[in-house]
Structure 1
Amino acid sequence: MGSSPTNDTELPPFILTGIPGFEESQHWMFLLLGALYTISIVGNALILFIVKEEQSLHQPMYYFLSLLSINDIGVSLCTLPSVLATFCFHTQQIAFDTCMAQMFFIHFFSFSESGILLAMSFDRYVAICNPLRYSTILNDAQVAQMSLIIGIRSFCVVFPLPFLLKRLPFCKANILSHAYCLYPDLIHLPCGDISVNSIFGLCVIISTFVLDSVLILFSYILILHSVLAIASQEERLKTLNTCMSHICAVLIFYVPMLGVSMVHRFGRSAPPYVYTLMSLVYLFVPPMLNPVIYSIKTKEIRRRLIRLFSNN
Structure 2
Amino acid sequence: MALEFARTLDALPERNFSDQLLFLTALQAAGDATLADGLHERQRQALQNPEETAAMVTWMNAHGLAHDAISWSEAIPLNLRANILVAVALSDSYMAMRDWTGILRFVQGGSWGQIDFLRNALAARAQRESGNESAAQAQWREALKKINSAPKQALLLADTVERWGWDAERTDLLWLAAKDPERGDDALKTLYARFAQDGATQDLYRVCLHRQEFHPADRNIQNNVAQLSLLLDMNADRARKVARDLYLGDPKNAAYASTYAFALHSSGDSKNAVKTMSGLTDAQLRQPQIAAYYGIILATAGDAERALQFLDLGASAKLLPEEKALLEKARRQIAQN
TM-score (norm 2): 0.21
Greater RCO (Cα-Cα under 8 Å, separation 6 or more): 1
TM-score (norm 1): 0.22
Q: Which has the larger radius of gyration?
A: 2
